[in-house]
Chains A and B, each alone.
Chain A
Amino acid sequence: MKDMMYAKTIRSKIVKGTIKSITIPPLPEGYFTVSREDILSKNIVKIIFEDMPYYSTGEINHLNEPIMLVVGSDMEIIKQIVDEIKIEYSEENGVFDESQKTIAYHFKKGNPKRAFKNAEKVIEMTYHTGLQEQAYIEPQGFIVYEEDEKVTLIGSIQCPYYVKNAVVYALGCSSDQVRVIQAAVGGAFGGKEEYPSLIACQLAVAVKKVHKPIKLIFEREEDILSTTKRHPSRITLKAAINELNNVTSISADIAIDGGAYTGLSSVVLSRAMIAVSGAYTFENLEVLGHVIKTNTVPNGAFRGFGAPQMFFAIEMFMHHIAKETHQDSFAFRMRHIARQGDKTSTSGTFRDPILLEDLIRVATEKSKYHSKALAYSQPGIYKGIGMSIFLHGCGFTGSGESTHIKAQVKLLKTKDGLVHILVAAVDMGQGIKTTLPKIVSQILEIPIERCIFNYPDTDNVPDSGPTVASRTIMIVGGLVARAAKELKENWIDNLEQIVTKRYVQPSYIKYDESKFKGDAYPAYSWGVSVVEVSVDPITYQTKILNVVSAYDVGKEIDERIIQGQAEGGIVQGIAYGYLENMSANKGVIKQKNLTDYIIPTTLDVSKMSTYILDNPYQYGPFGAKGAGELTLIGGAPAVALAIQMAINKNITKIPVTPEYVMELMHDDD
């Protein structure tokens, strides 16, 4: 692009405090600083909870908080200016414990009080989960430019309309003054859901000041140190056990660390809380949840969105209860699994058939789970096998789809018979540029080459909602399928035709957000993962030996794509459980690059087998449900249970690093 300018972000060097003064050297002509003083309307990133400024207000709440941009045409000169800018702070002590709560939720199912009163036995455990970095291989980045008054942003993003709405809000302009175009996205995993809106707002303000195109690409270290990650959690679970050794009630107290700004943490918290039952049914529940505020970098969306934390805790806990009550863990879990017609954790109903027993049978047979579990329970073998059972609610929680998102899709058939799929959904590697055309081509019975899916541009596509929450195939794809059916019925050759469809909630879905009551999701995908490991008693390192998973995702649209989602998802989930270690010390993240934040390489993965069982969902295209997040969720509990078996010690936190394994193995030294 002609006259391209570059931008570099100046960030806070303290964890908490206020800015006393900023000294900017005399700037050469054509060089600018852009900060809160340049803001035209609001200094807030429009997310769910509006508390995050995009340029520091002067109050610093976390390390590397953005303060200003330095913009100009020569990067070497920008670098010099950055080095010469001096900022003085008045430092305060940060808070890193649970003392600051920003969100508090509570819900009940049945009569937990009575269940605990009548319990034969009460068992309690506390679990901890760590930070996880999305580690998309392409860092965050945008290009912004201005034409007349209109601001256009091209970025590596998941949600074009989130960015657009955030920028409209920040500039205080009309909707037609902002255009957002998706660039090819080099991985996202939730990390490009809400965070890019912050950069976009900064750049929109900048372009209004300098009136030239600006490019801003994060360095890897900058990306790791300043963008959102998976929320660390503390989950305390208490079970009431009756005389039949069954769980009659669970009481849960959950705290997730939202970091310095709340952002969308409340939604992550509610998904975690709703997942409290795991893939089991408990008649009575009492669930308390908090988002806590600490002076660390804000946390946000990451594939699984609160569920991976909760599933780790409940799966470990179920195993623990079985052990404490001297019963076979497998049989105990099987007695509690959710069945069709059961009440969900939020007192809704599992209406559709549940194939858990079949999934468990396939996964355990293919992995030889039972014989291996028996063999590995002998001491001195240092091998283990763990099974996790899980579900994932597809689409937005509760009535989010109908009240907040209100997705719209459009099919445009040109005169020459090409069908353009106009949606705001982004292909970030999960394959919708294949699956959406495949859905349309199969329904219209036309070659797939005639079904066109381009990267969304908000000037051309309606708002079909964000590319999140395992909703793209089921919700957006479902609408696309309905539109295609309508187009087929009314197809007229040599004529341009447009079909628009808007989301309508199935009438039976009723949900009260404030009480956590009703059907939290229109449908659920289900899975079982079995992970086999060995643990080296000399180095305490875990080696993954084999992975077998079975899933019910309704109906797979494309076998290869589902296999890719399954393998990639479980590798991330397993790594969350034992390999990926990110920790912050008083707000300072210790692992700041891909050398120190370890994600798996080719040599860290084992053979993986995936089995898909059909269970078509009536509103999904060809019966498809969500698959993107599900596959990650079972990884951590399965690997942790496997390691627990290998070392015969209770695991209560992830990641199960070699350092932690050492501690556990020598706890009686």
Chain B
Amino acid sequence: MVTHHIPSTLEETLKLLETNLYQVMCGGTDLMVQSRSWANTVPKLVKPLVFISQLSELNFIEETPDYIEIGSVTSYETLLNSSLVPKVLKDTIIEIAAPGIRHVGTLGGNIANASPAADAVCTLIALDAIVEIMSSNSIRTEKICDFIIGVKKTTLKPNEIIRSIKIPNVEHDYANFYKVGGRKADAISKVSLCVLCNVKDNIITKFRIAFGAVGPKVASNIKTDELFVGKTIDEIKNNIDDYTKKYASLITPIDDQRSTKEYRHKVALNMIKAFIETL
């Protein structure tokens, strides 16, 4: 019988995963909810678990000339307390759940869970973050927007693990995260938005937006973003409705128990407009 494992090294972990028999358990804040069973009975699991939150090889924050690299099992709370983590990511993390979750929840887990409402994923997509993925015999990297392919779906194979997340070391003049939840803490986003923008001599040199909870995955489109680049702020402000509407087709939300598609659509566009007005 295959049983759960708590490996002490990354190497051992990857070797176990080569059998394709296991599910990876990180901080537990998503997986334990999804596999919830009757109180005081074991969780409903599809596969036995390999625990990884104890792996020190995956618990780090490092700065290289090009990237800030974050180990996949690093907790949100650790990120909040690090001087290396970009402010916009910290602004995002502080809006995730509550301290009890942030003390154990991880960036790696949040990405692997691939919820369209994941706040950190929204910001990481705007930041053009890169996911480094490892198996026992390979390392590959993928842009996070390509790594996540749908609701709860990623390109991660059963023998792979997310090793780290690399955030390009780029300065932004504007880097904002907006979350609209049902209440002010402890809420899953009805809609969220991360916007990054650089301006030089009144001309937009970079524009990047990602939306959470408005489609099957966090939504972003570099081609739409590029329509802003090279334009003057006045040009955009004078045609603010037209520019805002360029994102309309990207925002394809649904009705669910938390909100309506009309609300999500309207608020997402309102937030872009409100951002443009701050330029």
The residues of A with any CB-CB pair to B shorter than 8 Å are: 8, 75-76, 78-79, 217, 219, 537-541, 579, 581, 590-592, 595-596, 598-604, 658-659, 662, 666
Contacts and interface: CB of A to CB of B under 8 A. Distances in A.
B258 A596 contact: yes
A539 B41 contact: no
A133 to B, nearest CB: 13
A590 B182 CA distance: 14
Contact of A540 (B257, B258, B267): B267
3 A-B pairs closest in CB distance: A603-B184, A598-B182, A590-B257
Contacts of A590: 256-257
Please report whether the interface of chain A is mostly helix, strand, loop or mixed according to DSSP: loop
A579 B263 contact: no
A604 B183 contact: yes
Nearest to A74: B41
Given A538-B267, A539-B270, A591-B257, A219 B262 contact: no
Contacts of B260: 659
A538 B39 contact: no
Nearest to A579: B183
B49 interface: no
B180 A662 contact: no
B136 to A, nearest CB: 34
Interface stretch (B52-60, B157-165, B185-193): B185-193
Interface string B236-279: 00000000000000000000111110110011001101100000
5 contacts: A540-B263, A541-B180, A599-B183, A601-B185, A658-B263
Contacts of B182: 579, 581, 596, 598
Contacts, number: 69
B184 A601 contact: yes
A233 B260 CA distance: 22
Please report whether the interface of chain B is mostly helix, strand, loop or mixed according to DSSP: loop
B38 A603 contact: no
Contacts of B274: 538
A79 B257 contact: no
A596 B186 CA distance: 10
Contacts of A541: 180
Contacts of A603: 183-185
Interface string B150-169: 00000000000000000000
B41 A595 contact: no
B68 to A, nearest CB: 29
B40 A602 contact: no
B270 A659 contact: no
Contact of B38 (A219, A596, A600): A219
B257 A538 contact: no
Nearest to A663: B262
Contacts of A76: 41-42
Contact of B183 (A78, A219, A601, A666): A601
B41 A217 contact: no
Nearest to B277: A538
Given A79-B37, A591-B257, A596-B182, 18 more contacts: A75-B40, A75-B41, A78-B38, A538-B267, A538-B271, A538-B273, A540-B267, A541-B180, A579-B182, A596-B188, A596-B258, A598-B187, A603-B183, A603-B185, A659-B260, A659-B263, A662-B266, A666-B266
